[in-house]
Amino acid sequence: MATAGGERLELPCGETVALTSLDLGMRELDCDCGEAHAVVMDMHPPTRFFPEFLVETLDDVVETTSEEMPDFGTPHLMGMVMEEFPEQIAVADATDEGDVGFAMVWISQFDSRRLHEVVVELVVEMMEHAISHAESERAMTEFEEQMLEFDVTAFVDQYRDERDLDPEPYV
Ligand SMILES: [Zn+2]
C-alpha cells in the first residue's frame, strides 16, 4: 500500500481511504466500491443529528463516563452506533496524523441519511431506557405516548431539510 497519502483507513466494504484525503466539511464519501458512506468527525457537533434542545436534554440524561469528554457529544453518539453495528463502522484515530484537523473519524457502511436514522433510533431507545429508570410512571407514560407518534423517518427528512438551508454551523 502506498504511504504517500499518510495513514489509510480500511472501510467496512474493503476499500481504503487516506486520512489526509478527508476534508472537514465532508459528510459522505463516494467510495470506489460504488456506495456512499457516511463520514463523521469528532468536531462535527451533535446538532448535525438533532436540534440543540435535544442535545442539552441528552447531556442531562446521559452519564458520560469519560473525564476527557464530560459533555455528551458526537463521539458518544458514534460509540453507540459502533456498539450496535460493530461490523459496519470503521474508525481511525488521527491524532498522530498532524494537520488533518480532526482527531477521530468514523466511516460507516451506510450512507449519511441511513446513519442519521440509526443515530436517532438509538437515542430514542436510550431515552426510553433512561426514563424507565426515572421512577415516575407519569413521565414514562407521557414519553411513550409522544414516542408512539414520533416518526424517525419523518423527523430525519424534516431535520435534514432545515439543516441544509443553513449548513454552516453543522460542518
Ligand atoms: Zn466502499
What cell does 133 get?
429508570
pLDDT tens-digit map of 51-91:
888 888 788 777 666 666 667 889 999 999 999 999 999 99
How far, in Å, is the centroid of ligand 1 from the Cα of 11?
6
The CB density around residue 92, as the number of other CB atoms within 10 Å, is: 20
How far, in Å, is the centroid of ligand 1 from the Cα of 127?
32
pLDDT tens-digit map of 131-141:
777 677 787 78
How far, in Å, is the centroid of ligand 1 from the Cα of 16?
8
Global pTM reads 0.84
Three-state DSSP class for residue 2:
coil
How far, in Å, is the centroid of ligand 1 from the Cα of 89?
11
Q: What pLDDT is recorded for position 171? A: 46
How far, in Å, is the centroid of ligand 1 from the Cα of 34?
6
- 91 CB-near residues (< 8 Å, 6+ apart): 78, 82, 104, 105, 106, 107
- 81 CB-near residues (< 8 Å, 6+ apart): 89, 106, 108, 115, 118, 119, 122
How far, in Å, is the centroid of ligand 1 from the Cα of 38?
10
